[in-house]
Amino acid sequence: MERPQDPVPAGGPIQGEWCVLVEENIGSDARIWGLSHVRTFPTREAALTDGAMMARQYQPRHPMSERGRRIYRTGEDIWTVQVQGVTRTFHFRLSVARAEAR
């Protein structure tokens, strides 16, 4: 199934690029928190636009069946999104950052 975040550009960011970072629960038991996706953009404005879109459309690994979502803008370039599943609630974070090194 294609998700809004796919495909992720190969090779990772290069210095000077703007990125949208996705941090979420990863792993089969959903107890590990980590960086799951890095999307790169040529400008900060493009990354901010994508970050706002991802806050609404990103399909996190957990929960599998989303029942609702609440978006919090916790900074100029940071979103924390709470996703309600059938039995549990999870969250993920989106951040816009500038790549420093490869």
Intervals of the chain under pLDDT 50: 1, 8
The partner residues of 26 in beta bridges, in order of sequence, read 32
Query: Domain for residue 30, yes or no?
Result: yes
User: Tens digits of per-residue pLDDT, 2-22?
Assistant: 555 555 455 666 767 999 999
- Burial (0-12, 13-18, 19+ Cβ within 10 Å), 71: middle
Closest among 6, 31, 25 to 91, alpha carbons compared = 25
At CB < 8 A and 24+ separation, what contacts does 31-39 make? 36/61, 37/5, 37/8, 38/8, 38/12, 38/13, 39/5, 39/8, 39/9
Q: How many domains does the chain have?
A: 1
Query: Domain for residue 82, yes or no?
Result: yes
Query: Domain for residue 44, yes or no?
Result: yes
Query: Domain for residue 24, yes or no?
Result: yes
Report the pLDDT value the prediction gives residue 61, as an integer from 0 to 100.
83
pTM above 0.85, yes or no: no
Domain, as residue range, for 76: 18-98
